[in-house]
Structure 1
């Protein structure tokens, strides 16, 4: 707890002052240019990765950067409502879906037997079942049993799958088709800081450089 308190004091005395003018402009209004959908993993820091200032990113984080398919529901849908607000109210120009290496959520989806006693996590990662089925087929097609390769394929295929799920949202699909909204898929490697972007024409992730 002490570390958190010291962090707040440091922010107020140093970091806040660096961006004081920005915060003053943001006090009544936010106009982020990008909706960043990332994993809750503590090693993934969207503003750090993109070198963004306060007010630039509207951020959604959950286990394994999941975008549930659009559906009308009386349930409380946290991710769905945040996406709706970012696109319909804030008018973001870009949506980034960012996965990463060594993703615990993807590992959990591949090994649900390790989730005993975690019913909510277990239910959440069932959203990744189509990814699991696809990756198993890909591994069979290339006749590989390499676990590291399967992990890498799963994490990247998951990004592409979530990108596709975004297009099930009618208002996103409409804006995307009109060229008013861009959708990017990123894969972040924790130990190197490298970011790869999905090229839908070549169906591969290419290093941003």
Structure 2
């Protein structure tokens, strides 16, 4: 079947050819070294938002980070009920097979998923009309209630609090996985929370003892 032309297809193909010319050919040895396997040391759970690509933010080469992206950068709690557990499968693969040293959860500013969790505007909608999103971000309900009680639901301050609370929820859920519990206890796995501010491009890191996010330190 012949592919129909579109502006979007043209843009994607132009990008692909730039990649071939500027990245793949100059780094051919790098790509050749990856053809038989990967050994990233860090897994990042990030949002699907098109503005927050971890590979760009951390300026990494192919094969350096193992990335899972979904609405609001969520990790569900460990459970063994039947179903398709995509994030859990990716986490299990990263921790058990790839043996990553760190797992990061990176939230971000102006997150649409966190905003919908805060306003609950999709609650009660049917799957395919917002229901899948509503069911997914129910993972944030407890955190949402605390944020709404302190900040309300209509201010940017409330949205930021919700975005940062989402990171903490996912970190707590990570620790419900036996493989994570075991490796963190042994000191062979570190969990980190981060928040990328779209407005100023600043990466903030979570201090889990204080619950505060502070700008990443400058490199010496």
**Structure 1 Cα separation of the partners of residues 88 and 77 of structure 2:** 8
**Structure 1 Cα separation of the partners of residues 133 and 154 of structure 2:** 26
- 1:31 matched to 2:39: yes
Q: Which runs of 5+ in 2 are unaligned?
A: 1-8
CA 1:205–1:23 in 2, change beyond 3 Å: closer, same or farther? same
**Structure 1 Cα separation of the partners of residues 52 and 71 of structure 2:** 12
Q: Which runs of 5+ in 1 are unaligned?
A: none
- 1:127 matched to 2:139: yes
- 1:207 matched to 2:215: yes
After alignment, is 105-114 or 24-33 more displaced?
105-114
Contact kept? 2:122, 2:131, Cα under 8 Å: no
**Structure 2 Cα separation of the partners of residues 177 and 134 of structure 1:** 29
Count of residue pairs brought into register by the alignment: 205
**Structure 2 Cα separation of the partners of residues 44 and 30 of structure 1:** 23
Correspondence for 2:91 among 72, 76, 83: 83
| More helix as a share of residues | 1
Shift of 1:127: 1.2
TM-score of the aligned structures, taking structure 2 as reference length? 0.89
**Structure 2 Cα separation of the partners of residues 96 and 138 of structure 1:** 27
After alignment, is 10-19 or 100-109 more displaced?
10-19
Cα deviations by residue, 1:7-49 (Å, 9 ceiling, x for unpaired): 1111112211232221111110100111100000000010111
After alignment, is 11-20 or 191-200 more displaced?
11-20
Shift of 1:121: 1.1
**Structure 2 Cα separation of the partners of residues 18 and 164 of structure 1:** 42
TM-score of the aligned structures, taking structure 1 as reference length? 0.93
Q: What value does the CA root-mean-square deviation take over the aligned residues?
A: 1.5
1:97-136 matches, within 5 Å, as: 97-114=105-122, 116=125, 117-136=129-148
